[in-house]
Amino acid sequence: VRILGISGSLRRGSHNRRLLRAAGALLPPGVELVEWDGLAGLPAYDEDLEDAPPEAVREFLACVEDADALLIATPEYNYSFPGVLKNAIDWASRPPDQPLNGKPAALMGATPGLGATIRAQHHLRQVLVFVNVLPLNQPQVLIAEAAKKFDPAGRLTDETTRGFLRQLLEALGAWTRRLGRR
Ligand code: FNR
């Protein structure tokens, strides 16, 4: 099962990017994770560009198409997920390609505060309904007080969180196979 990992945060020291990297080291057998790092390079969605999408957009659509499943690590910005992530979803939602259609997915998120990205993930699920992405319902990976869970080098050291991440990856592998994507 080939998973495309997307961090919704662009910043270098992002907890969510670190979470994605941690996931890459906790994969069950038969599952691989490729991080897609092109979010910052995507232009703002413009319907006028749909007939001849910019190169960065075409590359992104191809990455989504090639993936059996998605793993999205989202921060919470103003009770939602970041606009840059919505922008990517908008690009990938349009005909004729619509590579998100029917794609299995898993969500996770980290915040330094206590909110644990609950509202961001809930909002992201709402948006994924319309583009027909099929996210796992369980387990939920909601990480509060993220600064305590990574060491200064950015490694995920909290054992409970590592356990949730393992469960999520196993469940995503099984979900993807069950949906016949691999
Ligand atoms: C935030 N942050 C934030 N946190 C939260 O729990 N709920 C929220 O609604 C918001 N809103 C918000 C808006 C904006 C514009 C920023 C920049 C930040 C704090 C946020 O969780 C924190 O910056 C995280 O560290 C962002 O994730 P990364 O970059 O560490 O992955």
Determine the average pLDDT of the residues in 139-162.
Answer: 96
pLDDT value at position 115? 97
Helix, coil or strand: residue 8: coil
148/6 Cα distance (integer angstroms) = 23
The closest-lying atom of ligand 1 relative to the alpha carbon of residue 80 is 9
The closest-lying atom of ligand 1 relative to the alpha carbon of residue 117 is 6
Ligand 1 centre distance from Cα of residue 120 (Å): 10
pLDDT value at position 110? 98
Ligand 1 centre distance from Cα of residue 134 (Å): 25
Helix, coil or strand: residue 98: coil
**Average pLDDT for the chain:** 97
* Sign of the C-alpha dihedral computed for residues 150, 151, 153 and 159 taken in this order: negative
The closest-lying atom of ligand 1 relative to the alpha carbon of residue 16 is 31
User: Using one digit for the tens of pLDDT, what is the confidence trace for 165-174?
Assistant: 999 999 999 9
Residue 70 and residue 105 in contact, taking contact as beta carbons nearer than 8 Å? yes
CB under 6 Å to ligand 1: residues?
9, 11, 14-16, 75-79, 111-113, 115
Ligand 1 centre distance from Cα of residue 78 (Å): 7
The secondary element (H helix, E strand) that includes residue 58 is: helix 55-66
Answer whether the bond into residue 152 is a cis peptide, omega within 30°.
no
Calculate the alpha carbon distances from 127 to 40, 55, 99, 112, 150 in Å. 20, 25, 15, 24, 30
pLDDT value at position 182? 64
Would the pLDDT of 155 be above 70?
A: yes
pLDDT value at position 181? 76
User: Using one digit for the tens of pLDDT, what is the confidence trace for 112-139?
Assistant: 999 999 999 999 999 999 999 999 999 9
pLDDT value at position 97? 87
Ligand 1 centre distance from Cα of residue 91 (Å): 24
State both tokens at 85: 């992530």
For β-strands 2-7 and 141-143, DSSP reports them as unpaired
Ligand 1 centre distance from Cα of residue 155 (Å): 20
Residue 80 and residue 109 in contact, taking contact as beta carbons nearer than 8 Å? no
Ligand 1 centre distance from Cα of residue 109 (Å): 11
Mutate to test the pocket of ligand 1, among 6, 11, 72, 78 (most ligand atoms within 8 A of CB): 78
- pLDDT above 70 as % of the chain: 99
User: Using one digit for the tens of pLDDT, what is the confidence trace for 62-85?
Assistant: 999 999 999 999 999 999 999 999
